[in-house]
Chain A
Amino acid sequence: MNNFRKISWHHYINYIVIGILTIVLGSIALAGGRFNSSMLFLLEKVAISMILAVSLSLVVGFLGELSLGHAGFMCVGAYLGGKVAALLEPTLGNSPLNFLIALLVGGGVAALCGVIIGMPALRLRGDYLAIVTLAFGEIVKSIFQNTSDETFGGALGLETPRYDKQYLFIFAFILVLITLAVIQNFIRSKHGRAVTAIRDNEIAARASGINVTKYKLLAFTISATFAGVAGVLYSFSNYTVQSAKFGYNYSIEILVMVVLGGMGSINGSIIAAALITFLNTKLATVLTGDLAVLQNLLYALILIVIVIYNNAPSLKSFRDKYNIGTLLSKLVRKKHDPASIKDDKAKWDVVPTKIEMNEVLSIDITPQDKQGYEKKGGDK
């Protein structure tokens, strides 16, 4: 009993909320309540976005590296998973087994790509991962675009079996829960601790015996796997998979979700993913034609404003005064105690204290002095 109480419930709040949501909406659907198709499609899209945002958050928020090819991994998953599903459809039909095999194949190949891309890029410091993942996204896009019509459909896109419309979103949200479980369990384990240590201070992590390359690669591969899973889900949610959709812009859209949710916050990523996906769908009906660009403008402003606000060293005191934590605690009239922080949230402005003491040189090396010191040290 005592042990049970120790489990902090806030660790599980996101499972509970999404679980309840799935059960409620799922039972309505199963009981024969008909959602219209745009509502179903929106639910599926929200689930896909959540998987993407949570998995990217592992790399950006916890590992502290930037991946601009998340949509590329998704593309791999969508094509491979979709192809497998299409091949298996005559024998397995539209069954959950078919879905499962597609997920395994799509996620697995995306993971493999993650290893291949991560290996050269993660050994290097700096912004290389960003540029290599960006290149990877473009490579994948260009390869799938130019395949022959029989294999992956070429420029027209791959036709995939769309899974039974009414129930797909239930599977989608179950996948969100699985993603959450894997990524949160990873972060809240000794291995996740190693990853956050690398983010905080790579040099110290190495000196503390952490195999930095291994953990970077591991985190990156897990992230790529779930991007692949999201891709498979996408292929089941749409009739065709077109590689043009998975370009740079889509990767940025996922990045916007992670940044808006607050880097290093899984719950934030989930909420931002739902919000942005919902907003996108609504905006798509309002902003048509040339106005569609306003959406990109919004993304750009979100990225710039939020990142500067959260990271600028000169805004530190302002941030400490008016952050969500203190505002919330004011609301419930509880003093915000920084010591109560349980999660290793990213606070990028904390720079290691640097004290240069090189110039401090005492040169009195008289024997008495030495003895005196030794005595003092020894006596006490």
Chain B
Amino acid sequence: MAEYILETKNLGISFGGLKAAQDVNIRIKKNQIYGLIGPNGAGKTTIFNLLTGVYKPTTGTFYLDGEELNGLPQHKINHKGIARTFQNIRLFNNMTVVRNVMVGLHDQPEYKCSVVETLFRLPRHFKVEKAMREKAKELLRIFDLEEERNNLACNLPYGKQRKLEIARALATNPKLLLLDEPAAGMNPHETEDLVKTIRFIRDHFDMTILLIEHDMKFVSGLCDEITVLNFGTVLAEGDTKTALNDPEVIKAYIGG
């Protein structure tokens, strides 16, 4: 077991001449809730895209639990243990809630079932389907979504869609969960609820969480440590309170 669950080394990417991220070093210990903050266009989502294999970094690399994942295709990175949600929710809209979660369970070793087995409807197919459905229901129960399981995902209210996305990500059994602005568009009450949920996820699933957020209250109330990005580079990092009170950070936010 490595000291850090996630470690990036000089991670960077440039699009043409634009350096969207540069020399980003993030180290996250197990069971931490880690924040990634910064003004618009600071390169936060770019970091997520690098960590999930959407983009290939032009410089640097990153390790999950000591294993280098740089260069793997997206689905392999997910199998290795990084799951994510999206800034603008991406659900399988024409599928029911429970099936959304079952897609997340698709590649778990315990639900393995070959195409031939499903085509011939061998016993394993039914066993696996049933087990997947049960597991999905269990996950939905945690997020208070069990009642909605047979609704289409697109018919859920906004807050529940966010939760469903988290449930789907958790279904892939990750070591590290990336949440891209989980509180966006939520009212204070929902946000409060979300804080509890995220804490619960960490404790219940023994999870490490890296999240992007704009809401400073949210971040300072929830995160153990943060990294502040600005123009693709790290502005400050470390303990949440110290980092947020860093003069550079205040300057970047208020504009000096």
Q: Do chains A and B touch in the complex (CB under 8 A)?
A: yes
Interface positions of A (Cβ within 8 A of B): 182, 185-186, 189-191, 193-194, 196-197, 199-201, 203-212, 218, 338-341, 344-347, 350, 352-365, 367, 369-370, 373-374, 376-377, 380
Given contact pairs A355-B88, A358-B214, A190 touches B128 in the complex (Cβ within 8 A): yes
Q: Hey, which chain B residues are within 8 Å of A344, CB to CB?
A: 94-96, 99
Q: Hey, which chain B residues are within 8 Å of A341, CB to CB?
A: 96, 152
- By secondary structure, the B interface counts as helix
10 residue pairs bridging A and B, Cβ less than 8 Å apart:
A185-B120, A200-B93, A206-B54, A207-B90, A208-B83, A209-B172, A210-B106, A353-B89, A365-B245, A376-B221
A185 touches B118 (CB 8 A): yes
Given contact pairs A208-B103, A374-B220, A352 touches B152 in the complex (Cβ within 8 A): no
Q: Which of B95, B111, B254 contacts A196 (CB 8 A)?
A: B95
B92 touches A200 (CB 8 A): yes
Q: Which of B83, B93, B192, B199 contacts A350 (CB 8 A)?
A: B93
Q: Which residues of chain B (95-120) have a CB below 8 Å from chain A? A: 95-96, 99, 102-104, 106-107, 111, 113, 115, 118-120
Q: Which of B91, B104, B113, B215 contacts A201 (CB 8 A)?
A: B91
B78 touches A209 (CB 8 A): yes
Given contact pairs A190-B102, A363-B216, A207 touches B74 in the complex (Cβ within 8 A): yes
B103 touches A218 (CB 8 A): no
A211 touches B89 (CB 8 A): no
| In the A-B complex, the 4 residue pairs with the closest CB atoms | A189-B118, A357-B184, A209-B78, A204-B90
Given contact pairs A350-B94, A353-B161, A380-B192, A369 touches B253 in the complex (Cβ within 8 A): no
Interface status of B155 (Cβ within 8 A of chain A): yes
Given contact pairs A209-B106, A370-B241, A357 touches B181 in the complex (Cβ within 8 A): yes
A209 touches B214 (CB 8 A): no
Interface status of B58 (Cβ within 8 A of chain A): no
In the complex, A372→B73 CA distance in Å? 43
Q: Which of A189, A199, A338, A361 contacts B152 (CB 8 A)?
A: A338
A353 touches B192 (CB 8 A): no
Q: Hey, which chain B residues are within 8 Å of A186, CB to CB?
A: 115, 118-119
- Of B91, B95, B244, B250, chain A has the most CB atoms within 10 Å of the CB of B95
Q: Hey, which chain A residues are within 8 Å of B245, CB to CB?
A: 365
A193 touches B95 (CB 8 A): yes
Closest Cβ of chain A to B215, distance in Å, is 6
Q: Hey, which chain A residues are within 8 Å of B93, CB to CB?
A: 200-201, 347, 350, 352
In the complex, A369→B241 CA distance in Å? 12
